[in-house]
Amino acid sequence: MNPATDNPPPAGSGTPSDLPGPLAFQLMLLRRMADHEPARVEDALRRLGVTRAQMREANRRWQARMHSPRARTGLQPYRALLGTPESVTTRRIGDLTCEALTWPVPLWPDLRFEALTAPGGGVWNAWLVRAPGAPAPELRTTADLVPWSCTVDEVARAFPPARPMEGSAPTRWRLAITAPGPDGARQDVVAEFTWGLYQRRAEGTEGVEGAGRVE
């Protein structure tokens, strides 16, 4: 795949109320985050100059796009809204060679939206990651887990070994970690993420016995 020669549909085509494609995509991300961080989402909507109704409509259209029997699979739904990716890199994961495509997300300038494609073109994973060269937060205690400040891989690296848990929806992830609290006492915490971005924490790690580890 070559971002310089591919010709995706123009960003913004078919988006709610003729919103630009990248804006409609950000609204879809925010709709999933509103369940955990409604106040931050309201602030983001004001910054973007849009309404909750537009956010809901953007999410509705995205879901229809993804679940329609005639929907084109793989990267097409992402490219239809986001346009040509900022970068395309080859990544080796075990025995598989994948492509990682990234797009800027203006609401979070230090992050990128990454889609990881498996051989054959299917999207294996899609979430927010730290932009190359952008400073990552210093995560030393549970007090440093601030909503929207860190990504799944950053929390996993800061508090190993992290144990992945099943999320409540395909766009949600959870990590069970043991980390020092502000007073130095170690705490069992479940960190919850939406689209790869940290949202909130839950105390305890019930039900994670036997879960895999992210070293």
Domain membership flag for residue 69: yes
If asked whether residues 33 and 94 sit together in one domain, one would say yes
Domain membership flag for residue 1: no
If asked whether residues 61 and 87 sit together in one domain, one would say yes
If asked whether residues 48 and 118 sit together in one domain, one would say yes
If asked whether residues 29 and 117 sit together in one domain, one would say yes
Domain membership flag for residue 173: yes
Give me 66's structure tokens.
């993804």
If asked whether residues 165 and 114 sit together in one domain, one would say no
Domain membership flag for residue 151: yes
Q: What is the pLDDT of residues 4-37, one digit of tens each?
A: 333 343 443 444 557 999 999 999 999 999 999 9
State the DSSP H helix or E strand holding residue 178, giving kind and residue range, or none if neither: strand 172-180
If asked whether residues 28 and 66 sit together in one domain, one would say yes
Give me 23's structure tokens.
């804006």
Task: Provide the 10 A C-beta neighbour count for residue 211.
Answer: 16
Q: What is the pLDDT of residues 38-96, one digit of tens each?
A: 999 999 999 999 999 999 999 999 998 888 776 666 888 999 999 999 999 999 888 88
If asked whether residues 163 and 75 sit together in one domain, one would say no
3 state SS of 7? coil
The pairing of strands 123-130 and 87-93 is unpaired
Q: Which residues contact 12 (CB under 8 A, 6 or more apart)?
A: 18, 19, 20, 21, 24, 81
Q: Which domain holds residue 170?
A: 142-203
pTM comes to 0.84
Show which of 67, 96, 130 is a domain's final residue: 130
If asked whether residues 172 and 83 sit together in one domain, one would say no
Q: What is the pLDDT of residues 148-197, one digit of tens each?
A: 999 999 999 999 999 999 888 889 999 999 999 999 999 999 999 999 99
- Max distance between CA atoms of the chain, in angstroms, equals 55
Strand partners, 98: 91
Domain membership flag for residue 135: no
Cis bond before residue 161 (omega within 30° of 0): yes
Domain membership flag for residue 209: no
Instruction: Match 């060679």 to its residue by tokens.
Output: 97
203 — pLDDT class (breaks 50, 70, 90)? low
If asked whether residues 109 and 169 sit together in one domain, one would say no
Number of domains in the chain: 2
Domain membership flag for residue 215: no
Strand partners, 112: 104, 129
**What CA–CA distance (Å, rounded) separates 105 from 85?**
11
If asked whether residues 51 and 97 sit together in one domain, one would say yes
Instruction: Match 């992210």 to its residue by tokens.
Output: 214
If asked whether residues 100 and 158 sit together in one domain, one would say no
Show which of 72, 106, 130 is a domain's final residue: 130
If asked whether residues 104 and 177 sit together in one domain, one would say no
Domain membership flag for residue 73: yes
Task: Provide the 10 A C-beta neighbour count for residue 19.
Answer: 20
Show which of 93, 109, 130 is a domain's final residue: 130
